[in-house]
Amino acid sequence: MRILVGGAVVVLAFALAFIIWNFNLDVLVEAFLSQPTPQKVAWIVTVAASLLLLSLALWQSEMVLRQRKIAQNVGASTPWRRANCRPARGGTI
């Protein structure tokens, strides 16, 4: 997941650099401002939601990594728990 999100961030950065350096920024701003208000709002919401989803995906990836490390540490510090655990038979413990 981290690789996928990292790749998406890199692609987004390249796209932004391409837009800023290869296009006339005034034309891009003029095209945006010439849109009707509902379309402006839709573009703003789309861009904001994309950035929010990327940041949340990175945050979630970090939380999962932390939980994995904690679970590994707990498992390593108490090996007797795994040895004494048996699957339940017939739905009873």
> Residue 45: its pLDDT value, please?
93
Residues 62/1, Cβ–Cβ less than 8 Å = no
Residue ranges of the chain with per-residue pLDDT less than 50 = none
Q: 84 in the Ramachandran plot: left (φ > 0), alpha (ψ -120 to 50) or beta?
A: alpha
Helix (H, G, I), strand (E, B) or coil at 89: strand
> Residue 3: its pLDDT value, please?
76
Amino acid identity for residue 79 in this structure: P
* Measured distance CA(36)–CA(17) in Å, rounded: 26
> Residue 19: its pLDDT value, please?
74
